[in-house]
Structures are given as C-alpha cells and as structure tokens.
Amino acid sequence: MFALAGMNGLVIGAIYALAALGVSLVVGIMNVINFAHGELYILAGYFSYLFANAFGMNFALAMTLAVALVFLFGLLIEYTLIRPTYGNDMYSLILTFILSIVLQNAYLLIFGPYPNKPPNWVGGSTLILGSFYYGNQRLAALIAGSAVITLVFLVIKKTWFGRIIRATSQDREMAELNGVNTKRLNMLSFGLGCALAAAAGVILAPIFPVTPTAGVPVALTAFVVVVLGGMGSLWGCVIGGLIIGLVENFGAAYISTAYKQVFSFIILILVLLSRPSGLFGRREA
C-alpha cells in the first residue's frame, strides 16, 4: 500500500510538474495566468484520441501532432486574446476564464460527456522491488514526463533561447533594451506554456481518460504547485509537483479518496500563511 501510493504519487507528481512548468513559464515572462490551461491539456488528450483511434495513426505520431496543434492554438490565443490586454492582468484572467468555459462546452458538444481514451503505448506490468506489480503504461508515463521536464530544463538553462527567457522574466525592460523582441517572445512562451499542458495531457490521457471538465482539477493542482514552488521558479514546479502528487496519493490511500483534491488546497493555505512567496520564490519588492 505504502509503496504503491508512493509510486502513484511519483507518476502523477511528474505530470503535475509538467503542467505547472507551463503555467510558471507564462507567469514568469508575461505575468499572466492562463485559466484555460486545463482545457488545453484536455484538448491535447482529445486530439491524440482522435488521431490514434479514428485516423489510426501511430500513437507517437498522434501525440506529437496533438502537442504541435495545441502549440499553434496557444499562439492564436495569445495573438487574439492576450496581446490586447498587456498591462491589465485582470483582463487576461477574465478572458482566459471565459475561454475555459467556452472550450468545456465546445468539448461537450463535440465529444459528448463520456470519457475518451487514446490507446496505451505499452501493455503488461512490471514487478517493482519484488513487492507489487505496476502497470507499464504508468511507468512509461513517468519516464516520458521526466524526459520532457529534462528537455525543458536543458532548453532554458543551456540554450540561447533559454537565456532570453530567463533575462526577460528577470527584468523585462532591460531585456528589451538589449534587443529582445518581447512581443514575439510573449507569443512564443505562451504557445510553449500551452504545449507543456498538451504534453502533460497526451502523456496522462491513456491512464486518466479525458472528459470535457477533467481539465479543471489538473489546472487547479498546477496552480497550487506554482504557488507552492514560488511563482516563476522552475525547480519550484518540479519539487512542488512531486510534493503535491505524493500528498494527494498518500492522502487518498490513508485518509479519504474523495477528498484528495482538498489536501492540495490545505497545502496552498499553509503556504500562503507561512511563506507566501513559495518554496523557491523570489521575494516580491
């Protein structure tokens, strides 16, 4: 029981971290929270389901295509909805919230209220530590999640593009003075944030089938992770994601399954009370 809950916590935690990275990237650069993050996560799940089941594509191809499409959709959202609201954070909150409800209802019309599930990548299960069998699909999700997180870290810490991102999130005006086209960077980073949500979506969809409103709890948890880790901190997302994933699963295993969402909310309140800037957050001036 203990090891199983721990293992589940790791898998979910990695996915939470991935979803939170997308939120954190956008917050760090644009100071915008995308409330439709969960709906984009679900959109990628639907795309991969559609491509793999209806068009009979290979699952890897379907996933890549799904993430790419959501990336493009993210660019479109930034261009049409977010760009006109620069400097007014409140309006972007309102617009993305309306967008999330619109998307939920559109999914409901198109796909119906029933859960849809893309095919598993692998079958069978593996004996872990000689104590319990664990589904290979979940293990694959853990590996894929960790791989994407590593990729994000490499891009941000090691490449020229990553340097631009870090510079802009540290001091926007200074970056502009040094010739960074922050408008284009905003668009690109918003798209990337959506693509990270999409990556989380395609990885998790075979385990937790997608429904029109299944994105809400994932997005909420991603937000909690971002606050817990500290707004704009990448390591905060990873550590925070793992903490929330583990707490939820141990809580579900030992206290109550129905209330597993509530545990992360309690953590959020404790963080806000004791250390509002989060575990790794910069102290706001």
Partner 1 sequence: MTDRRFFVILFVAVGLLSLLPLGLGVYHLHVMIVSLFYVMMASSWNLLAGYTGQVSFAHAAFAGIGAYTSGILAAKFGLNPWIGVFIGTILAALIGLGMGILCLRMGGIYLSLTTLGFSEILRIVITNEYEITRGTMGLQVPGLVADYSKPAYFYIMLGGAMLTLIVLYKLIYSDIGLNFRAVQNDERAAASLGVDVVRMRVLAFTVSSALAGMAGGLYGHYLLLITPEIPSLDQQFLVLSMTVIGGMGSFLGPIIGAISLEIFSEYIRAYGEYHVLVFGLVALVVARFAPNGLMGLAEHRLRGRRKASRTVSAAAG
Residue ranges binding partner 1 (CB under 8 A)? 27, 31, 33, 35, 80-81, 84, 89-91, 93-95, 97-99, 101-102, 105-106, 108-109, 216-217, 220, 223-224, 227, 231, 258-259, 261-262, 265, 268-269, 272-273, 276, 284
Collapsing DSSP to helix, strand or coil, 135 comes out as strand
Residue among 151 and 269 whose Cβ is closer to partner 1: 269
Beta strands in 41-80 (DSSP E): none
> Which residues share a beta bridge with 126?
134
Pairing of β 132-135 and β 125-128: antiparallel
Phi-psi region of 232 (alpha: psi -120 to 50; beta: other; left: phi over 0): left
Closer residue to partner 1 (CB): 48 or 249: 249
Name the minimum Å distance from CB 263 to partner 1: 10
Please tell me whether residue 125 adopts helix, strand or coil conformation. Answer: strand
Minimum distance of partner 1 from residue 166's CB (angstroms): 21
| Two structure tokens written together for 49 | 């389901």
Spatial separation of the C-alpha atoms in residues 149 and 21, rounded to whole Å: 8
Cα 227–231–235 angle (5° rounding)? 95
CB of 123 to partner 1, least distance (A): 33
Nearer to partner 1, 144 or 231 (CB): 231
Token duo for residue 265: 């909310």
Name the minimum Å distance from CB 19 to partner 1: 14
- Smallest separation (angstroms) from partner 1 to the CB of 246: 19
Name the minimum Å distance from CB 183 to partner 1.
18
Output 161 or 208, the one with its CB closest to partner 1: 208
Task: Give the bridge partners for 134, in sequence order.
Answer: 126
Q: Which is nearer to partner 1, 2 or 259 (CB)?
A: 259
Beta-carbon count within 10 A of 170 CB: 12
C-beta of 136 vs 261, nearer to partner 1: 261
**Phi-psi label, residue 129: left if phi above 0, alpha if psi -120 to 50, beta otherwise:** left
